[in-house]
Structure 1
Amino acid sequence: MIHQFLWVIYPYLVLIVFIGGVIFRYQHDQFGWTTKSSEMLEKKKLAYGSSFFHWGLVFVFGGHVMGILIPEPVYTGLGISEHLYHNIAIGFGVPAGIISLIGLVILFYRRISVKRIRYTSSVSDILALVFLLIVMLTGLSATIFNITPEGFDYRKTISPWFRGLFYFQPNPLLMETVPLWFKMHIISAFSLFAVFPFTRLVHALSMPLKYLRRSYVIYRKRGRKMDEHL
C-alpha cells in the first residue's frame, strides 16, 4: 500500500494540487505573481547566488531530461554504452549539482542574514528555499553515491516508471529496488511541486514576451534649469 501511494497516487495528487494551485493563484493573485526582487536591498550576494543557482540548474535539468525522459534504447541505437553514459552523467551532473547547490546556499544565507531582506520575507519565501535545498541535497547525494562503476542504472527502473505516469500506467514494482537516496529525491521533488503554486517560484511559468514589444523606458538627467525651477 505504501508503494502504491508513493509511486502511483501521490504523483497524481501533486499534479492536481499543482494545476489547481496555479490556476487559483493566477486568478486571485496576479499582483503577487512575481519574484519580488530584493536587488535594491542587497546586490552582491544576489548576483553570485542567482548566477550559480540558475546556470547550474540549466545543466541539472538537461541531465534529468536525458536520463529520465529519453529511453535507454535510444542511447543504445546511438552506440552509447551504459558505462559511457554513466561517466557522462557523473562528469556533468556532479559539478552542475554542486554549482547549483552553492548558489542556493548563498541565496538562503542572504535571505536569513541580511536584516532588511529577512524582515521583508514571507513564510512562503523561506519554505520555497527549504524545499529547494532538500531537493538539491538529496539529488546530489544520490548522484555522488552512484559514482562507482557498478552504480545503479536508474534508466531501467525510475525512467520507465516516470514515463508511465504520462500515459497513466505507472508500475510501482519498478521502484522496489531503487536506492533510498533516489526515492528521497523523487518524493521531495514531487513535494516541491505541491507547494510550487503557493510560493514565488510561480514566476518560472511566466515568459515576459510583452517586453519584446514594450517601448523603452527613457531616463533623462535632470538639468540645472530644472533644479533651479524646483
Structure 2
Amino acid sequence: MTTFVWIVIPYACLAVFVLGHIWRWRHDQFGWTTHTSQLLESRILRLGSPLFHLGAFGVIAGHAMGLLVPVTLTEALGIPEGLYHGVAVWGGTLTGAMLVAGLVLLIARRFVNGRVRRTTTTMDKVLYAALAAMVVLGMTATVGINLLGHGYDYRETIAVWFRSVFWFSPRTQLMAGAPLVYQLHAIGGFLFLALWPFTRLVHVWSAPLAYLWRPYVVYRARRGAPPVPVPAPAVVRDRRAADGQSLV
C-alpha cells in the first residue's frame, strides 16, 4: 500500500500531467482558453478573480520555497530557522486567505448568477471541488497545525520525499509519520496535477504577464472607429433577388 500511494500514484499523475497537455494541445487547441464569462457577469469577477489569482501565485511560491529549497541552503545563507518558519507561516496564511476569499467569490458567482451557471460545465464543477478540497487541506495544515497548533517540520520529511520523487529515488519512509492532513494534501496535489490538463487551467501556460493584475479579458471598441453600416432588410432582399439568390 505504501508503494502504491507514495510511488505509483505520484508517477502516474506526473505522466498524465505531461501526456495530457500534449494530447490537449494536439486535439483541442480551440479549447485552450480561460472560457471567460466576463461578458455575462463582471462585478463579482472584478473582485474575485484578482484575489484568487494573486493568492494562488503566492501559495505556489510558498510551496516552491518550502518543498524545493533544502534546509542546508537556508542555513548556508544564514537564514535562521525561526525567521524562515515565521515568514512561511504568516505568508502562507495571508496568501491562503486571499485565495480562499477569491475562490468563494468565484464559486458563488457560478451558482448565484443564472447566466454564468448555465455556462458552467461538469469539468468546471470538478475543478472547483478539487480546488476547494486542496485549499481546505492546505489551510488546515498551515493555520491549524503550524500557526495555532504544535507545528510540524515538513522540510525534513515531506519536502525531502517530494524532491526524491523527481530524483527517481522516492523515500517513502519519510511520509509514514507525517500528519494525516499533510499526507492527504501531498497526494491530493499530485491528483490535482493529473486533473490539470483537462480543465481550463491549461490557459496559464499561455497567459501574458498582465494576467497577474488583470486576470480577465477586457472587451472594448476602438476609439474613433467608424461604425459599420448594416444594410436594411429590404436592401438585402433586393440585392439577393437581383443576384438570383434564394430568400429562404
Residues 178 and 227 (structure 1), Cα distance of their counterparts in 2 relative to 1, 3 Å cut = same
Shift of 1:39: 0.2
Instruction: Kindly provide the amino acid, as one letter, of the partner of residue 163 in structure 1.
Output: R
Instruction: Give 1:182's aligned residue.
Output: 182
Instruction: Kindly provide the amino acid, as one letter, of the partner of residue 119 in structure 2.
Output: T
* Distance in 2 separating the partners of 1:188 and 1:71: 22
TM-score normalised according to structure 2 size: 0.83
Instruction: Give 2:119's aligned residue.
Output: 120
Instruction: Give 1:166's aligned residue.
Output: 166
Residues 46 and 207 (structure 1), Cα distance of their counterparts in 2 relative to 1, 3 Å cut = closer
Q: Secondary structure at the match of 2:134?
A: helix
Matched, 1:195 2:209: no
* Alpha-carbon displacement from aligned partner over 1:140-190 (angstroms, at most 9, x marks no partner): 111012225851110000111111111101100000111111111112211
Instruction: Kindly provide the amino acid, as one letter, of the partner of residue 203 in structure 2.
Output: H
Preserved CA contact (<8 Å) 1:83 1:149: no
Instruction: Kindly provide the amino acid, as one letter, of the partner of residue 125 in structure 1.
Output: D
Structure 1 runs, 4 residues or longer, greater than 6 Å off: 226-230
Instruction: Give 2:216's aligned residue.
Output: none
Instruction: Kindly provide the amino acid, as one letter, of the partner of residue 115 in structure 2.
Output: R
* Alpha-carbon displacement from aligned partner over 1:47-86 (angstroms, at most 9, x marks no partner): 1111111111121111111111001011111222222211
* Distance in 2 separating the partners of 1:218 and 1:44: 23
* Distance in 2 separating the partners of 1:121 and 1:152: 39
Residues 71 and 90 (structure 1), Cα distance of their counterparts in 2 relative to 1, 3 Å cut = same
Instruction: Kindly provide the amino acid, as one letter, of the partner of residue 85 in structure 1.
Output: Y
* Distance in 1 separating the partners of 2:75 and 2:36: 45
- Aligned residue pairs total 220
Q: Secondary structure at the match of 2:133?
A: helix
Shift of 1:30: 0.6
* Equivalent residue runs for 1:201-220 within 5 Å: 201-208=201-208, 218-220=222-224
* Distance in 2 separating the partners of 1:39 and 1:14: 32
Instruction: Give 2:157's aligned residue.
Output: 157
Identity of aligned residues (%): 40
Shift of 1:24: 1.0
Task: Say which one has the larger Rg.
Answer: 2
* Distance in 1 separating the partners of 2:229 and 2:14: 58
Instruction: Give 1:101's aligned residue.
Output: 100
Instruction: Kindly provide the amino acid, as one letter, of the partner of residue 220 in structure 1.
Output: G
Instruction: Give 1:213's aligned residue.
Output: none
RMSD: 2.1
Q: Secondary structure at the match of 1:58?
A: helix
Instruction: Give 2:59's aligned residue.
Output: 60
Q: Secondary structure at the match of 1:40?
A: coil
* Alpha-carbon displacement from aligned partner over 1:4-24 (angstroms, at most 9, x marks no partner): 111111100001111111111
TM-score normalised according to structure 1 size: 0.89
* Distance in 2 separating the partners of 1:44 and 1:228: 32
Shift of 1:35: 0.6
* Distance in 2 separating the partners of 1:147 and 1:156: 18
Instruction: Give 1:73's aligned residue.
Output: 72
Q: Secondary structure at the match of 1:220?
A: coil
Instruction: Give 1:87's aligned residue.
Output: 86
Instruction: Kindly provide the amino acid, as one letter, of the partner of residue 171 in structure 1.
Output: R
Preserved CA contact (<8 Å) 1:53 1:102: yes
Instruction: Give 1:14's aligned residue.
Output: 13
Q: Secondary structure at the match of 2:29?
A: coil
Unaligned runs of 5+ in 1: 210-216
* Distance in 2 separating the partners of 1:14 and 1:204: 19
Instruction: Give 2:40's aligned residue.
Output: 41
Instruction: Give 2:141's aligned residue.
Output: 142
* Distance in 1 separating the partners of 2:84 and 2:25: 41
